Amino acid sequence: MATDNYQGHDYYLIDELLTDEHKLIRDTARTFVKKSISPIIEEACQKSEFPKQIVKGLAEIGAFGPTIPQEYGGAGLDYISYGIIMQEIERGDSGIRSMASVQGSLVMYPIYAFGSEEQKRKWLPSLAAGEKIGCFGLTEPDHGSNPNGMVSNIKDKGTYYLLNGAKMWISNSPIADIAVVWAKDEEGVIRGMIVERGMEGFTTPETHGKWSLRASATGELVFDNVKIPKENVFPGVKGLKGPLSCLNMARYGISWGSVGPALDCYDSALRYSKQRIQFGKPIASFQLTQKKLAEMITEITKAQLLCWRLGVLMNDKRATPAQISMAKRNNVNMALQIAREARQIHGGMGITGEYPIMRHMMNLESVITYEGTHDIHLLITGMDVTGISAFE
């Protein structure tokens, strides 16, 4: 990729709603992305390799569990800071943001919220420091949008549980030291547990051939009579609300995160359209290009306001899951549309690795599907406003 000349865009002066510390956190994350992600991301994606060398740097900028209290190794920041960090990382690449979201929201958060004191002390500090990597196993080959139908299960064997089943589409699985896994007990109640690499019968085959999130490692989790010590099961939660509350955290992060690639695509398209001359003029002077650019910044601005307001509600513990669904759905879709329009503005150059556009576009095809598909989030809003569920 060519040099990263990214500059933020703030059409409605939303920065004035941020604190100096928020801006310093953003500045830090942005500098990290320019220095450590942009120079290597194109090659990592082309080779379909997770760039492990950036994990330590991600930990240093607070990407792993920024809202987790400092006593457990987190940064104890507010939700707006968390959103800002996710946005800057995803501006670099959605795959890297996915890795960080999983680590923070889907692994550290459930350990913090539902884990025993020993589980928290044992795992959180090393996850926050990036010394250990985690993954989150909810989706199964036959149960994606409907996780409640899962068949992975545990049987009480007195001193331990016996875990059987398989999970699919699991981000970080091939590189993870631990997996937070959701499986049904003998009463059919969903329970959460920590499965450690090295436990007998536990394997993590990698999923190859992705055209999206190529810098993020994805794989399966296969459990063949894995003995899970009882102290690895979360004492604090039973039922689907366990995994769903994790997804809320991650979806909130995605709402902010997805504005990152939208800004990057807009920023690149704006610059390119002023430099690219056709018919003797910069292509930015044509009305059709201006329409694209004007609509992009309008949609970005709306999404930024949605993020900020949702962040305030999260800080006040008032954000509802349906509000988070609305922001996730709107912002990811917005980013994907902008990536497509930006690609057109870049003409043929838009399909090359010289520009980040095509990579963002392909990444966003996963982001619009995982953590609840675009349609499922629409149905959540539908259910919220009508009181009637249309997906069961």
Ligand X SMILES: Cc1cc2nc3c(=O)[nH]c(=O)nc-3n(C[C@H](O)[C@H](O)[C@H](O)COP(=O)(O)OP(=O)(O)OC[C@H]3O[C@@H](n4cnc5c(N)ncnc54)[C@H](O)[C@@H]3O)c2cc1C
**Which entry of another protein, ligand X, none binds 324, CB below 5 to 8 A by partner kind?**
none
Q: Which does 104 bind (CB under 5 to 8 A by kind): another protein, ligand X, none?
A: none
Q: Is 71 in the site for another protein (CB under 8 A)?
A: no
Structure tokens, 43:
């090659």
φ, ψ for residue 73, nearest 5 deg: 95, -5
Q: Which does 76 bind (CB under 5 to 8 A by kind): another protein, ligand X, none?
A: another protein
Cβ neighbours for 215, distance < 8 A, ≥ 6 positions apart: 41, 44, 45, 48, 49, 50, 51, 93, 95, 96
Nearest to 372 by CA among 313, 303, 322: 322
CB of 32 to another protein, least distance (A): 5
d(CA 79, CA 224): 38
Report if residue 83 touches another protein, rule: CB under 8 A: no
Residue 47 C-beta: closest distance to ligand X, Å? 17
Minimum CB separation of residue 85 from another protein in Å reads: 9
Neighbours of 96 (CB within 10 A): 26
Closest contact distance (angstroms) between CB of 379 and another protein is 37
Q: List the single partner that 66 binds among ligand X, another protein, none, CB under 5 to 8 Å by kind.
A: another protein
Phi, psi of 223 (to 5 degrees): -120, 115
Give me the least distance between CB of 290 and another protein, in Å please.
20
- For the bound state, the minimum distance from the C-beta of residue 317 to another protein, rounded and expressed in Å, comes to 22
Q: Are strands 277-278 and 281-282 parallel, antiparallel or unpaired?
A: antiparallel
* Angle (nearest 5°) at CA 302 between 32 and 77: 40
For residue 188, give both structure tokens: 């059919």
> Mask 97-126, x = binds another protein (CB under 8 A)?
------------------------------
Q: Decide whether 23 or 291 has the Cβ nearer to another protein.
A: 23
- 61's contact among another protein, ligand X, none, with CB below 5 to 8 A by partner kind, is another protein
Per-residue x/- marks for another protein, 244-283, CB under 8 A?
---------------------------------x------
d(CA 37, CA 42): 9
Question: Pattern 44-63, binding to another protein, x per CB under 8 A?
Answer: ----------------xxx-
Stretch 292-311 residues interacting with another protein (CB under 8 A) = none
Q: Which DSSP category does 260 fall into?
A: H
Residues that bind ligand X (CB under 6 A): 102, 136-139, 144-145, 169-171, 213, 218, 366, 369-371, 373, 375-376, 379, 391
Shortest Cβ 24–another protein spacing (Å): 6
Which of ligand X, another protein, none does residue 156 bind (CB under 5 to 8 Å by kind)?
none
Q: Is 371 among the catalytic positions?
A: yes
And the tokens for 88?
């800057």
Instruction: Tell me how far the alpha carbon of residue 145 is from its chain's centroid.
Output: 17
**Pairing status of strand 178-184 against strand 134-137:** parallel
What is the C-alpha to C-alpha distance for residues 100 and 85, in angstroms, rounded to an integer? 10
Q: Which two tokens stand for residue 282?
A: 């910069």
Strands 202-203 and 218-229, sheet pairing:
antiparallel
Instruction: Give dist(CA 284, CA 195) in Å, integer.
Output: 54
Which of another protein, ligand X, none binds 370 (CB below 5-8 Å, type-dependent)? ligand X
Q: Given 187, 220, 371, 392, which residue is catalytic?
A: 371
Cβ proximity to another protein: between 28 and 381 the closer is 28
Q: What three-state secondary structure class fits 123?
A: helix
Q: Which amino acid is at 194?
A: I
Whole-angstrom distance, CA of residue 15 vs CA of residue 29: 16
| Binding range to another protein, per CB under 8 A, among 23-31, 263-271, 315-323, 350-358 | 23-31
In the complex with another protein, the residue whose CB is nearer, 31 or 145, is 31
d(CA 91, CA 33): 8
Q: Does 25 bind another protein (CB under 8 A)?
A: yes
Q: Which stretch binds another protein (CB under 8 A): 30-38, 144-152, 176-184, 290-298?
A: 30-38
Binding residues for another protein (CB under 8 A): 7, 20-21, 23-25, 27-28, 31-32, 35, 60-62, 66, 70, 75-77, 277
Catalytic residues: 371
